[in-house]
Structure 1
């Protein structure tokens, strides 16, 4: 009686599992995108491709890399001249003038016009512009790694949803098989009851078991429909798209060398790369803060036309101006010292983040390998369990048909067989997801 209540929790647990890796065949034809409502078939590789190309989070991550690249260009603009044009009019009254023989002579006009093109360029700033560019480049690298991490996580979510659909489809088939066996037993029980061989209790017991199996199938079917909705959302498919998934839970051996996988993870995990870029950016920020109190040299040149020149102050005349300016900060309201303290604290925090991330990565590698080993062991035990439960169910049917077994014995045998098949299916499902977890933990971006 205990075994028959196991299958639903097993399914619900399996569909909520986190990550893993498949070692399986998932081959088929191309799938639809959001512009095609009914794909012929959908393989795992095609599902991941659709997710990477059409999911809003993937597009957002790509745009953030473009924005970071634009910030590098903005930072480099300090190395180029800043050219501007301006034109203006100004009325001044009174103006300087003298009188010769009662005739006034103005030294400047009341109406002043000026139009010119000006170019300014930073000549030397003790490396501040270079450090700003370095910070922008580090930000671009961090954005690239964040994009890789986002695409990896989306691929992993697609894997989970893809295999959840496959798992639940098979679970529904197992439940259909159990329901068919119970229905056959119910038909046989009704005949025996009409013949007076079976009791009302035997008939009701079979009916209750059948109703319970149907209820559990409804739960599985609902979860299956929800997983299909989630898979369509990830892949960018329309709600009316029919999902014909091509895949299996075929198992192959996976690398479980923790030392080698941990070394790969420390070189390839996006989280590690981001932590290192954050530390690098903090180092650049500290260097930049230390240079805030240093002077900078700015050169400028302009060409234009204006009035106000003697002897004809109203005539517009071209003019040229050029110069060099030394700007020395004397007091900045303690901004420079505060900025230096902030940068030092951020650099220390970034170093702690890097250390914590590396420790987390090593732990994830070991944990994922342990989970994979457990799944592998479960496959062996549940395979044996299915074989034993199938043999027991066959014997129970023969005993019942020959009048040697009770109805309860037969129903329990059928329930144990169904639960054993579900447990074996779940073990394979967990192995696939845990194998993907090993790939993720070791730094694989799960592109296919």
Structure 2
């Protein structure tokens, strides 16, 4: 065998070995997609922010409840009177008196045309709306974690391919230089291999930059740097058809459910505005004592009564408030209708993306099979002298590009699948059965819905919860 034949055989064997290394599946890793989503759910500042918003909405219910209960006030007063007094031409006399008084008053709303009860119902509907908004945020957090996970994993695999590509081209360049030394090829062949190596290094630099960007996005979405990422589980379509997917979204999507509760709240707001002219009846009572420090005089007094009153005319404000409430109701109804169409469109788009991603993945698998057959054929022809090493390099590059396309296509398929779950309103910790403690949106509400006082057992329990949350 001639020197050139040995060099060609060595280069082809090296290229084949590197291609087999590229095709070898990645080792089993320690961090799964479910782990990443669970960690994102645990550490999300955005979720914590919106949980606090929900707790504030819960307190609106307690505030509305408090308006239906008695209001008790106290008033204390200490007075010092001094001066001169003269009457009937008599000499002026000095006046100095000190007194103290203490009074307790209480009032209870008996009737206001249902306005206070409507405030309570509006607050409850608002709580339900904010709970759905929290689910919407949860979906966005989990989807961001999925996208970050897939971007890191695909970027890492592409970096691995690019590094293997550099090793392959470096071996080809070494072979071209050896063949140039024995006179089998010209300097042009060496220059072509050098140019290909420079391009491969440029591609590697871009891939490493993409990986660094993906890692930062992962850190922002999940709350920490990625570990060794495992292959995600096999996916199943959550709906058999696009119409079935849209039907699920109409029932479960948190944005639609949030708007439905907001529409109910605005409808109650219209009723409240119309009841503004109804009279208000209040029960009032007061007891007090006044005592003088300069004598034994004192006064004890008390009173109780029912007060009724209402607005007759307020410059047109009440009618304006009623019209404003109706406009807000109409706007919210229109927003609900518009979002129904948008969500139906999003579901259709997401469903189509899944189908496109599946078709693209099947096509790129066929591309890899064809590229692998072509590479093997060119390699065998090169061993017989019918092909140059540059032909082998080109065939190998086609195979590597196809493998890179598959990595991207597989990543896009997972993103499209979870995007469809999000569009249907199913991308939640509960639906995915993630191994993470799930936030209970009703726990805080149940503690505050009855507006417990600070001295009650429920109030003391609530104080302990707030201290645990670090809110006091």
| One of 102, 111, 115 as aligned partner of 1:124 | 111
Change (3 A) 1:73 1:282: same
Change (3 A) 1:177 1:268: same
Residue 136, structure 1, aligned to residue 123, structure 2: yes
Give the TM-score normalised by structure 1.
0.83
Per-residue deviation, residues 306-337 of structure 1 (Å, max 9, x unmatched): 258xxx98622332211111121122222111
| Distance in 1 between residues matched to 2:322 and 2:385, nearest whole Å | 90
Count residues with an aligned counterpart: 399
Matches within 5 A, 1:277-426: 277-307=261-291, 315-426=297-408
| Distance in 2 between residues matched to 1:47 and 1:430, nearest whole Å | 18
**Structure-2 residue corresponding to 1:3:** none
Matches within 5 A, 1:170-189: 170-189=157-176
Change (3 A) 1:253 1:93: closer
Residue 269, structure 1, aligned to residue 253, structure 2: yes
Is 2:238–2:245's contact at 8 Å kept on the other side of the alignment?
Answer: no
**Structure-1 residue corresponding to 2:155:** 168
Residue 233, structure 1, aligned to residue 220, structure 2: yes
Give the TM-score normalised by structure 2.
0.79
| Distance in 2 between residues matched to 1:198 and 1:315, nearest whole Å | 126
**Structure-2 residue corresponding to 1:157:** 144
Per-residue deviation, residues 202-247 of structure 1 (Å, max 9, x unmatched): 111111111111211111112112212221232222xxx5622223
Matches within 5 A, 1:213-252: 213-237=200-224, 243-248=227-232, 250=234, 252=236
Change (3 A) 1:92 1:124: farther
Is 1:149–1:445's contact at 8 Å kept on the other side of the alignment?
Answer: no
Change (3 A) 1:324 1:171: same
Residue 255, structure 1, aligned to residue 262, structure 2: no
**Displacement of 1:110 after TM fit?**
5.9
**Displacement of 1:91 after TM fit?**
5.7
Is 1:269–1:444's contact at 8 Å kept on the other side of the alignment?
Answer: yes
Partner of 1:84, secondary structure, is: strand
Partner of 1:79, secondary structure, is: coil
**Displacement of 1:133 after TM fit?**
0.8
Is 2:418–2:427's contact at 8 Å kept on the other side of the alignment?
Answer: no
| Distance in 2 between residues matched to 1:96 and 1:321, nearest whole Å | 33
Is 2:40–2:222's contact at 8 Å kept on the other side of the alignment?
Answer: yes
Is 2:173–2:193's contact at 8 Å kept on the other side of the alignment?
Answer: yes
**Displacement of 1:250 after TM fit?**
4.5
Per-residue deviation, residues 410-434 of structure 1 (Å, max 9, x unmatched): 3321221111111122221111111
**Displacement of 1:374 after TM fit?**
1.0
Question: CA-atom RMSD, angstroms?
Answer: 2.7
Partner of 1:405, secondary structure, is: coil
**Displacement of 1:57 after TM fit?**
0.5
Change (3 A) 1:254 1:293: closer
Matches within 5 A, 1:187-198: 187-198=174-185
Is 2:256–2:339's contact at 8 Å kept on the other side of the alignment?
Answer: yes
| Distance in 2 between residues matched to 1:442 and 1:242, nearest whole Å | 28
**Displacement of 1:137 after TM fit?**
1.1
Partner of 2:67, secondary structure, is: helix
Larger RCO (CA within 8 A; separation ≥ 6): 1
Ranges in structure 2 where 5+ consecutive residues have no aligned partner: 1-27, 433-472
Partner of 2:417, secondary structure, is: helix
Ranges in structure 1 where 5+ consecutive residues have no aligned partner: 1-26, 29-40
Give the helix-richer structure, 1 or 2. 2
| One of 32, 54, 66 as aligned partner of 1:43 | 32
| Distance in 1 between residues matched to 2:237 and 2:335, nearest whole Å | 34
Partner of 1:227, secondary structure, is: helix
| Distance in 2 between residues matched to 1:165 and 1:289, nearest whole Å | 54
**Structure-1 residue corresponding to 2:440:** none
